[in-house]
Structure formats: C-alpha cells, structure tokens
Amino acid sequence: MNRSLQLSIICVFGLLYTISAVFSEDTKELSAIKAAQEWLAIVDAENYAESWETAADYFKNSITLQQWEQTISAARKPLGKVLYRKLKSKQLVTELPGVPDGEYVVIQYETSFENKKTAVETITPMLGKDGKWKVSGYYIR
C-alpha cells in the first residue's frame, strides 16, 4: 500500500471518529435538554413535590422536599406564569464546583414570566448510573 493511500485511510478514520464523538455529545445534550424541559413543565405546573421526586438523588440529598417546596414556591410564584422560554446555551461538562465528577449538561434558558420580563434559568441535568438524565440543580436570575 502506498503512503498516500495510507494517509487517506488514516484521515478517513480520524474523520469518522470525530463525527462519532460529536454525534455522541450532541445526543447526550439533546437527551439532557429533553429531561430538563420535562422537569421544567412539572415546575411550571406548580407540581413542586413531583419535581423533587423526579430530580437526581444528588438534588434530593441536598434539600428536603419541604425545603424545596418552600424555596421554589417563594422563587417562582411572584414571577407568574411562563410566557416563553428559549434555549440560550448548553454545555456538556464532567466537573462542576461542589458536586461529584460525572456527566452534566449546564443549560440556560432566556425566560419571560408574567411579572419578570427577562430572566435566565439555569438547569443542570446529570447522567445517573441508570443512564437517565435527571435534574441536579436549578436557579433563576
């Protein structure tokens, strides 16, 4: 096999590996976004107990159900209903401050509420040992 053909084969395999890695990352991000949107719908419906129950174990170990219901109610009720929510950014990471290493997607939404026209919601799903994405963190600013 001549050198030119060998280099071409190496380039093709390198390209396929890169495409595979990008596709895998995109698939993870899309799955995490889907999980985040489903969880946000629960919060938007004011089903705060259900949002806690469906969150990641890390989340549930960080805050009791009663604390969560009080905190999220105090944060969300004054804002009113969601008028729109638009994906602003997403980033797959394996390390975040103050949490165990793992796979996380930090997602930000530009959100408008009835009583707060401009807000940024940050929601962070994490990949569990069961292969499912569950919310491990949420805040509004």
The confidence score (pLDDT) of residue 6 equals: 52
Q: What is the pLDDT of residues 78-130, one digit of tens each?
A: 999 999 999 999 999 999 998 999 999 999 999 999 999 999 999 999 999 99
Q: Tens of pLDDT along 21-72?
A: 444 558 999 999 999 999 999 999 999 999 999 999 999 999 999 999 999 9
Q: Tell which wins on pLDDT, 1 or 77.
A: 77
pTM tops 0.85, yes or no: no
Domain span including residue 136: 3-140
CATH number of the domain residue 83 falls in:
3.10.450.100
What HEC string does the chain produce? CCHHHHHHHHHHHHHHHHHHHHHHHHHHHHHHHHHHHHHHHHHHCCCHHHHHHCCCHHHHHHCCHHHHHHHHHHHHHHHCCEEEEEEEEEEEECCCCCCCCCCEEEEEEEEEECCEEEEEEEEEEEECCCCCEEEEEEEEC
Q: How many domains does the chain have?
A: 1
